Amino acid sequence: MKLIDKHAWIEIQDGKILSTRSKGRTKYYFPGGKREAGESDFEALSREINEELSISLIEDSTRFLGIFQAQADSHPDGVQVKMTCYTGAYTGTIAAASEIEEIVWLKYQDKHLTSPVDHIIFDWLKERELIR
Q: Is the pLDDT of residue 1 over 90?
A: no
Q: Is the pLDDT of residue 101 over 90?
A: yes
Write out the CATH class of domain 2-127.
Answer: alpha beta
Q: How far apart are CA 100 and CA 122, in angstroms?
A: 21
Domain extents for the chain?
2-127
DSSP 11: -
- CB within 8 A of 44, min separation 6: which ones? 7, 33, 34, 35, 36
pLDDT on residue 36: 94
Structure confidence by residue, pLDDT tens digits, 16-44? 999 999 999 999 999 999 999 999 999 99
